[in-house]
Every structure is written in structure tokens, then in C-alpha cells.
Amino acid sequence: MIKHSLKRIALFASGSGSNAEKIAEYFTSNPEVEISLIVSNNPKAGVIERARRLHIPVLLFDRTTFYDTNRITQLLIDQRIDLIVLAGFMWLMPGGLVQAFPNKIINIHPALLPKFGGKGMYGHFVHEAVVAANETESGITIHYVNEHYDEGQIIFQAHCPVTPTDTPDDVARKVQVLEHEHYPRVVSEVLLMNNE
Ligand code: GAR
């Protein structure tokens, strides 16, 4: 039996899952929010081990299931998911899923969109491009998700300096600090906004 006041989040992640874990930790003491599922396309991803440790159910799928069937969308509807949070999820969201969850899918991007976004711009590639372009700052962008890479409406950005001696790894570390600091709180604010 699902309580109606309970807000249910599905976290999508393809990699290590450090953001997914920070978000799960943030809500552990909140009885009104449940991380109902961790959803992944990658059975070898670090996030799977984190989910096991956090006692969060995992849903794994392959490309055919995701793009050629509506099984994942239907399952998320059946589970009454209120918000889908992408935390290092690297595949484009299919149209049917976006349409079924209007303004209920958010993503974090490790740069200041609209710069350094689009297909192929993820994880370390983003930080390499920022350093190669001699940027003096980078940061994070949290945005709604539509059917195009990194194009949905921006909800929140935070900035960090990039110095001339910073390597892509240095930038990645600064950006990760911002991600862990802000993403859980912004997720909770979006949940509240959707409630109004
Ligand atoms: C994060 O830096 C996130 O911004 C990035 O993947 C990393 C996942 O880290 N996402 C993208 O690049 C999406 N285009 P995590 O697995 O440790 O949370």
C-alpha cells in the first residue's frame, strides 16, 4: 500500500553513483520522501553496490528495453514515481518517458550550460573541454530534462573558479564538491514546488 503523502523518487545512474548516494542520504531521515528505485543501464556501475548497501531496489535494463518498449515508463507509472532524478545517467531519455513525466525529470550537468553540453559531453570529457577552452570558471547546472541532451529549462547553477594550472581532474574535484553540496537540496525544492 503506497501512502499518498509519500513522495517517491527514482534515481537514474550509469556510473559511480556518488550523487545518487548523497541524495539518498539526504532523505534518510525524512519520512515523507522515499528513494523507491535506483535505475541503471550498467550492471557493472558502482551505483549498484551503493544501492545494495543502502537497501534501495535496483532496476537494470538494456538499450532495447529502454528505447523500443515502454516497459520502463510503465513501471515508473505503476510505482507512482513523483520525480525522476538523473545522477550521472548517460543515455538520452526517450520521448515517451519525457511525455509521461512532464517537468518531473531533472538532471545535473557538470558545467555551466549552455556551454559544454550536448551529445558526448559527459563526465571527464566536459572537464577536459573546459580546460582546453581556457575557461576561468566552471560549475554545475541542474535542469529539467527534455528529449534533447542538456537543453531543458535551467533550475539552478553554481560556479567555481578554474585557474590556469588546473587539470581536468582538479576541475572535476571542484565540480563534485558543488554537486554534493547542492543537488540533494535542489531535489527537495523541486519536490516541494511540484506539490504546490
Ligand atoms: C557527475 O559529475 C554528473 O554531473 C555527470 O556524471 C557525474 C556522475 O558522478 N553527469 C553528466 O555528465 C551528464 N551529462 P557520480 O556517478 O559520482 O554521481
Take atom 10 of ligand 1 and give the residue whose Cα is closest: 88
**How far, in Å, are 50, 71, 78, 108 from residue 63 at the CA level?**
23, 12, 21, 22
pLDDT-derived band at 42 (thresholds 50, 70, 90) equals very high
Residue 119, domain member (yes or no): no
Nearest one of 63, 10, 55, 15 to 36, comparing CA atoms? 10
Entry pTM:
0.96
Ligand 1 atom closest to residue 46's alpha carbon, by position in its atom list: 16
Q: With 80 as the cut, is the pLDDT of residue 53 above it?
A: yes
Residue 4's pLDDT is what? 59
Looking at residue 60, its pLDDT comes to 97
For residue 162 and ligand 1, the question of a CB distance below 6 A is answered with no
Selection from 166, 174, 189 nearest residue 140 by Cα: 174
**Residue 55 grid coordinates:** 537497501
Kindly tell me if the per-residue pLDDT of 128 is higher than 90: yes
| Domain around 42 | 7-109+141-157+184-195
Residue 70 has pLDDT above 90, yes or no: yes
Give me the pLDDT at residue 2, please.
54
- Please indicate, yes or no, if residue 115 is contained in any of the structural domains: no
Count up the domains in the chain and report the number.
1
Distance 87 CA to ligand 1 centre (A): 6
- 118 found inside a domain: no
Please give the average per-residue pLDDT across 78-101, as a whole number.
96
Instruction: Confirm or reject: Cβ of 23 under 6 Å from ligand 1.
Output: no
Of 1-5, 82-86, 90-94, where does mean pLDDT reach its minimum? 1-5
Is the bond preceding 114 in cis, omega lying within 30 degrees of 0? Answer: yes
Work out the average pLDDT over 26-54: 97
Look at residue 149 and tell me whether its pLDDT is greater than 90. Answer: no
Q: Is the CB of 122 under 6 A from ligand 1?
A: yes
Residue 172 falls inside a structural domain: no
Average pLDDT, rounded, for the chain: 95
Q: What is the CATH number of the domain that holds 32?
A: 3.40.50.170
